[in-house]
Structure formats: structure tokens, C-alpha cells
Amino acid sequence: MKPEDFITPIKPTWCPGCGNHAIWVSLRSVLAQEKMAPQETVLVYGIGCSGNMADFVKTHGFHALHGRGLPVAAGIGLANHKLKVMAVLGDGDCYGEGMNHLISASRANFNLACLVHNNMVYGLTTGQASPTSIKGYQSKSTPQGVVEEGVNPLTLAISAGATFVARGFAGEADHLKTIIKKAINHQGFALVDVLQPCVTFNKINTFDWYQERVYKLKAPTKDKLKALEKAMEWGAKIPIGIFYQDKKPTYQDQLPQIKKTPLVSQPLKKVDLEKLLKEFF
């Protein structure tokens, strides 16, 4: 398969220079490398600039409600665990409205890769501060500066139970491809937070700003405390790579009901709702 096999007739509508373009190209490249046939792959999208990718990637796709991409993706994976399912979300989408779903997905360890476009603003609605905006960041919604500390999605996911936690950078496409590939092949819940500059509204966290700060981690660790310590590093130096990876039973692995046959392929003839109907009615 080739990356071109995943291109639709619709051209991307992102701003010229947007970091989303690099994520789009990297994702298509990995899908081709891993021979993930479009008819066997499902990408669930959230609302926002990242969600526009639903029109640009030729696979099964589902455009979920704002913040609700993860439960939809988890549900698809439970209904048919033979499919390869991914969630493609934004920082406002996943870390704001969807934060509790991120915690729940991490705790459950669903066999699911979650790719988050993190530009630190609500780009689609013209640049309001998002949950990951740095404290003091001035925007249309926070003209006096953000009061709260920015959300750290990596420490959140690690502490909640995710078994693969990584960060990439849209300005390092080859490195990002490697991370996405490993996340897709990981058995369990994988979070990949991608630093993705918004060239239109975020004039602070630019490509140049990141290029001066990012450095690559050598290898992931199974030690949560070490992973948390490294994930809290932000400022003059910003690490990218895989922070934490461990192997544990997935949510799907622990369901005997679907061990032999996917739920979608099981017959409905044996289902008897009469007892439940009598109990509740």
C-alpha cells in the first residue's frame, strides 16, 4: 500500500503552514506502512481543526461530538475488536470537554490509539485559550491572560493507567511517524500528544519556538515515577518521544464474551430480553 491510497478527492482546508498538514502526511504514511486496509480501519474524529481530517483520510470514519471521540472509538473497538481503531482529536476536544473520557480510557486500557493535535488554542473558533494554553496566555477569551495552569496530558494519562504515553512534534515528521507506528502496534491504550503549532492564532508556541527547545528521548521506561518526572519537564527544554510503555491486559482481553467471536458477528437468536422486561416493567 502507498500513502496515496489514503487520500480522498477533498483537499485539506487548513491554513497554509499549519502543523496539521505534517500530522496528516505522517498518519497516512504509517497506515500504508502497516498495511492497514481502509475497509478494516476506523478513525474517529473530534470537533475542531483536527476533526476536519475526517474528509481527508480514506478509511472508515466517524465524526463524533465535541469531547466524545474516545467513548465512540472504544465502543467501535468493543463491537468489532478485529478492526483497527484510532481516535484523532484536538487539545480542546480531548483535554477539555473530553478530559474525563481520557481518564476513563486510560483506566480501562482499551486497545486504542489516541492521536491528539495540540496547538494550545481553540483554532477552529478563532484562537480562544484551550486547556493546554500556558498560564498567562492572552487570547480573545482571556484578554488578561490565562489564570489556570495548563493541563499536562502526559502526567494525566500516566497516572490514570495508560500503558503507552508519548509526545511528538509536527516539525519532526520522521520522528512522529515512528511514534505513531509504535502507538498503533501497542496492545492497550496509547496516547500520542502532538505539539502542533497554530500559525494563525498562536504566535507564541511557533515552529521556531519548539525547534529551539525540543529534544528526543532515548527510550521509554516502565517506571511511572521516572516517566512522570520526565513528563513534567517543560520550558527551556521540552522532551519528545515515548515517555512510558508497559504491557498489561487490555479491556478487550478481559471479556470472555468476545474471546472467540467479535460481538458484531455473534447471533442475536439466543438473546432473551423477557426476564429483563419483566424486572423493569
Q: Which of 127, 135, 123, 136 is nearest to 52 (CA)?
A: 123
Specify the residue for cell string 492572552.
138
Q: pTM of the full predicted structure? A: 0.94
Is the confidence at residue 248, as pLDDT, over 90? yes
Is the confidence at residue 40, as pLDDT, over 90? yes
The pLDDT score that the predictor gives to residue 76 is 97
The structural domain count of the chain equals 1
Q: Are strands 128-129 and 121-122 parallel, antiparallel or unpaired?
A: antiparallel
Q: Report the percentage of the chain scoring pLDDT > 70.
A: 100
The pLDDT score that the predictor gives to residue 273 is 85
pLDDT tier at 203 (50, 70, 90 boundaries)? very high
Q: Can you give the residue range of the structural domain that contains 17?
A: 3-280
**12-39: pLDDT as tens digits:** 999 999 999 999 999 999 999 999 999 9
The pLDDT score that the predictor gives to residue 269 is 81
Q: Which has the minimum average pLDDT: 43-52, 79-88, 184-193, 259-268?
A: 259-268
**107-156: pLDDT as tens digits:** 999 999 999 999 999 999 999 999 999 999 999 999 999 999 999 999 99
Cβ neighbours of 191 (radius 10 Å): 29
Mean pLDDT of 241-269: 93
The pLDDT score that the predictor gives to residue 268 is 82
**148-177: pLDDT as tens digits:** 999 999 999 999 999 999 999 999 999 999
Mean pLDDT of 248-272: 90
The pLDDT score that the predictor gives to residue 208 is 97
CATH number at residue 243: 3.40.50.970
pLDDT tier at 270 (50, 70, 90 boundaries)? confident
The pLDDT score that the predictor gives to residue 274 is 87
**42-77: pLDDT as tens digits:** 999 999 999 999 999 999 999 999 999 999 999 999
**209-222: pLDDT as tens digits:** 999 999 999 999 99
Mean pLDDT of 257-271: 88
